[in-house]
Structure 1
Amino acid sequence: MIENSILQKESRYVWITWLLSWSGLIVMCSLYLTLPLNSLFSSEFDISVSRAALTSSLFSLCFACGCLVYGAIADKYGRKKVVLFGLICLAVFTCAAGWVHSFAWLLLLRGLQGLAASTFSPVVLAYIVSIFPQHRRVTAIGFVSTGFLMAGVVGQVAAGIISTQYNWHGLFLLFGSLYIVTAGLILIFLPNDSAQQPELNVYAYLKQIRAILIQKDLLLSYVVAFVLLSSFIVMYAILNHYLQQSLYSLNVESILEIKIAGIAGMLLSPFAGKIAQKTNARFTLLLGLTVSIFSLVMMALWTALAGVILFSILFVAGIAISVPALVAIVGQLGLQRRGIAVSLYTFILFAGTAFAPYWAMQILSFSSGSPAFICNAILLLPALVAVLLIRIPKL
């Protein structure tokens, strides 16, 4: 009987892990849905491509701002309640975006989508810590982080396929429906958390940011956060343009298949904890950044298609092990202010993605060939230097 009870509990944690991973994947897809649609929006709304890119940048900025406050709100009112409320709002705003025919309305709804989607990522990690037993937390966080990363490919691939086969309105309506279904699953299957703190003063919580910003090592970790995910977005923007050139002349379907191959690199994210256990989080982050920079340089030098595909996967693998390692470092450096330190990390991480479409356009205007990958590698160099300067106190 005891053994059966343990098995039931273990299988329940497995199911919750998969549900949270799916939720993380589908929610974070909303960030990437409009990245491949800039040319389409430019044509339909008769605007410049750079203005069309605001659909992604505004989402990222609103998402980043939401990440600053929802952690504290979730601590005050309950994490499951905040996640559920955010998913319902995200479903409504996403479905509404599928019916608009004005760029101004689309921009407004993308901003609201960002605010709604940001209820998930900063809250779910704290939820895992409060619900899961200690021996399952690292694995659960690794799987959820993998879902976050996979969204970068899945969101763009889904947008490319659906907008080509149907139209972009159908894309938003489909994802809005998926958010409704996901909200229902979370309502039914996710246990309520007991980490409510009704007495928590959200304003006082946010005032701790000042104390965080005077810590040199945390500031260095935020330099890494600012460029880490944005370089991921820039790489795929460059790759998409690069593979359409005369050297390869690949069609849309072939390019989508190459993007899907990048998922193989993301599967390393759950193993970042294993690497950190054998070494430390700082070494893991250095390893990930070095692999990503090296891969970008090789993508520029090795023009054979097989080489470009191989090193694009290795680039993604480097980012995949860097993200959880950086979260661990921020948590260690935050000490008693760990919660607000991680919230600020999430804000800066996604604030960086707001600039990614602009950086990609500037790099491609400078060079649409292999040197563009070198420019992206240079973008990551400050992160590598920052990690070398970080000093993590021994606990």
Structure 2
Amino acid sequence: MSSPATTETWAPTGRTVATICAVGILVVGQLYVVLPVLGDLAAAWGTSRAAATWTTTAFGLAYGAGFLVTGPLSDRWGRRPVIVTGLAATAVSTLVVITAPNLGAGLAARILQGLTASFFAPAAFAYLAERIAPARRVFALTCLTSSFLGAGVIAQVLAQVIDDVFGWRAVFVTGALSFTVSAVVLHAVLEPGKRRAAASAGTVFTAFATLLRTPRLTLLYLSCLAVLGSFVGIYTGVQLAPPAGAGAGGAALLALRASAIPAMIAIPLLATRLAAINPELRLISALAAAGAAAGITAVPLGGLWVAAWLFVFVASVAIAAPAAVQAIAARAGEARGAATALYTFALFLGAATGPQLTNLVAGNGFTAVALVIAALGFTGSTLAFASTKLRTR
């Protein structure tokens, strides 16, 4: 039986997980809010819709790269200070986007926004891993990764609604206000942690190098590129080359985006049962299922057909994301903080490259997009499977 002193160290699961996940939707949602307003951005900045997709890539690259710095910062300064400071800074950087007069300035603003937003994810993962009771930890991590994926759907739906009523600038003004409120709320909800010993930059990057020299971890990181790469890629395709029956905008696209929201709710509720399955097997199976579902959407049988299989696709990605971080953490030893930073970097590097992958084939219609995304999912599954064959080496 655990002593009272031990049980008192855990943060309250419900309040902590609900708040962090709600803010996670807001933070990661900034990657996706531009997808429904690509046409408006292109018109405001005098460019093409295809060129405007670089606003997603710019944010994603900066966001992912920032993890390599902000992860170690949270180890040194503590989880709560890094999270709260990052949210406050992101409130400001989000407002900067609406001041951009052209695409070049818009890309610079999105890079700044991505860098400030990157303070959240590594510290949030580490906080849940350290402060939530072990019996509830898989549930907490699954909820957080699901919130990141749910952001891809929820943020697009809300951005489209706000844009239709108030215009694209209101999307970012709403985001800035929400970040301000989130900083205040999380400062109150999160518990202060102990200040950690400072680690030198050399120590931090030595840990990264050690992890990447481990072949089985390298393969797992490469498989992570397919998780959000396929997710952002297929929704970019929905915007640039809508499937037959979905139309080019309005209610049909809104319904198509919203069709996957139930998957975001269902997967965390199944977290305990899913946790009983080996994380590598979950990752392999989920990425394969995502590839298969994406491939099936290539069959032109109408909007409802695509919506149904997008539900399966999103559910599969929602299973793959927490499975990947659990598989990586299990093999990282004492370098858990560095391993998580590399995981989130790989995740959002994939998210940054997904739109450009879609751009290459969007001119050939949604079928071409779906087939490319299917290939990406199967490639990720193959890489994860290959990592298991190196287990005993």
TM-score when normalising by structure 2: 0.91
Q: CA deviation at 1:58?
A: 1.1
Q: Deviations over 1:293-323 (max 9, x none)?
A: 2212221236143222111100001100000
**Cα gap change, 1:150/1:193 in structure 2, threshold over 3 Å: closer, same or farther?**
same
Taking a change above 3 Å as real, the CA distance of residues 268 and 390 of structure 1, as seen in their structure-2 partners, is farther
1:223 aligned residue: 222
Q: Deviations over 1:29-49 (max 9, x none)?
A: 111111222222222221233
Are the equivalent residues in 2 in contact too, given 1:268–1:320 (CA < 8 A)? Answer: no
Displacement of 1:393 after TM fit?
A: 4.7
Q: What's 1:209 paired with?
A: 208
Counterpart for residue 376 of structure 1: 373
Tell me the distance in 1 between the aligned counterparts of 2:212 and 2:145. Answer: 25
> Is 2:343 the partner of 1:364?
no
* Structure 2 residue aligned with 1:138: 138
Residue 232 of structure 1 is matched in structure 2 by 231
Question: In 2, Cα distance between the equivalents of 1:271 and 1:331?
Answer: 22
Name 2:382's counterpart in structure 1: 385
The answer (yes or no) to whether the contact 1:225–1:348 under 8 Å persists in 2 is yes
Q: Gaps spanning 5+ residues in structure 1: where?
A: 1-7
- Note the C-alpha offset of 1:104: 3.2
Aligned pairs (5 A) from 1:92-171: 92-171=92-171
Asked if structure 2 preserves the Cα contact closer than 8 Å seen for 1:238 and 1:372, the reply is yes
Aligned partner (choices 327, 330, 346) of residue 329 of structure 1: 327
What CA distance in whole angstroms lies between the structure 2 residues aligned with 1:11 and 1:355? 36
Equivalent residue number for residue 89 of structure 1: 89
Distance 1:329 1:272, change over 3 A: farther
Q: Distance in 1 between matches of 2:300 and 2:243?
A: 17
Mapping 1:54-73, distance limit 5 Å: 54-73=54-73
* Cα drift, residue 10 of structure 1: 9.3
Give SS of 2:335's match.
helix
Where 1:249 maps in the other structure, the secondary structure is coil
| Cα displacement (A) at 1:9 | 10
- Hey, what's the Cα distance between the residues in 2 that align with 1:300 and 1:314? 14
Mapped contact 1:224–1:383 kept (Cα < 8 A):
yes
For residues 4-23 of structure 1, the aligned pairs below 5 Å read: 12-23=12-23
Change (3 A) 1:92 1:371: closer
Q: Distance in 1 between matches of 2:187 and 2:336?
A: 28
Q: In structure 2, what is the equivalent of residue 79 of structure 1? A: 79
C-alpha distance in 2 between matches for 1:248 and 1:13: 40
Higher mean Cα deviation, 349-358 or 18-27? 349-358
CA contact (8 A) 2:247 2:253 kept: no
User: Is residue 12–residue 132 contact of structure 2 (8 Å, CA) maintained in 1?
Assistant: no
C-alpha separation in 1, matches of 2:343 and 2:177: 31
More moved, 180-189 vs 201-210: 201-210
Residue 360 of structure 1 and its aligned partner are, at CA, apart by 1.1
Mark the CA change 1:39 to 1:336 in structure 2 (over 3 Å): closer, same or farther. Answer: same
1:380 shift after superposition: 1.8
Kindly state the Cα deviation for residue 203 of structure 1 after the two structures are TM-superposed: 3.0
The amino acid that maps onto 1:222 is Y
**CA distance, structure 2, for counterparts of residue 343 and residue 11 of structure 1:** 23
The code of the aligned residue for 1:377 comes to A
Deviation (angstroms), 1:243: 3.9
- The amino acid of 1:310's aligned partner reads A
In 2, the alpha carbon distance for the partners of 1:199 and 1:15 equals 30
Aligned mates of 2:325, 2:267 — CA distance in 1:
12
Q: What residue in structure 2 maps to residue 46 of structure 1?
A: 46
Distance, in Å, in 2 between the alignment partners of 1:250 and 1:100 is 26
- The TM-score, its normalising length taken from structure 1, stands at 0.91
Q: 1:370 to 1:100 in 2, by over 3 A?
A: closer
Residue 250 to residue 357, structure 1, CA distance change in 2 (3 Å): closer
The residue number in structure 2 matching 1:266 is 264
Indicate the residue corresponding to 1:285 in structure 2: 283
Deviations, residues 170-217 of structure 1 (Å, cap 9, x unaligned): 1111110011011111122221122x2133223311222221222111
**Deviation of the 1:387 alpha carbon:** 1.7
| Alignment-mate amino acid for residue 304 of structure 2 | A
Q: Distance in 2 between matches of 1:250 and 1:350?
A: 27
1:329 maps to amino acid: A
Farther off after superposition, 11-20 or 267-276: 267-276
Q: CA deviation at 1:218?
A: 0.9
Quick check: 2:243–2:366 contact (8 Å CA) kept in 1? no
Distance 1:278 1:129 in 2: 18
- How many aligned residue pairs are there? 386
In structure 2, what is the Cα distance between the partners aligned to 1:160 and 1:307? 22
Q: Is the 8 A contact 1:17 1:143 kept in 2?
A: yes
Worse overlay, 337-346 or 300-309? 300-309
Q: AA paired with 2:384?
A: V
2:292 equivalent among 291, 294, 298: 294
What SS is found at the alignment partner of 1:72?
Answer: helix
- Give the RMSD, CA atoms, in angstroms: 2.4
Q: Percent identity?
A: 24
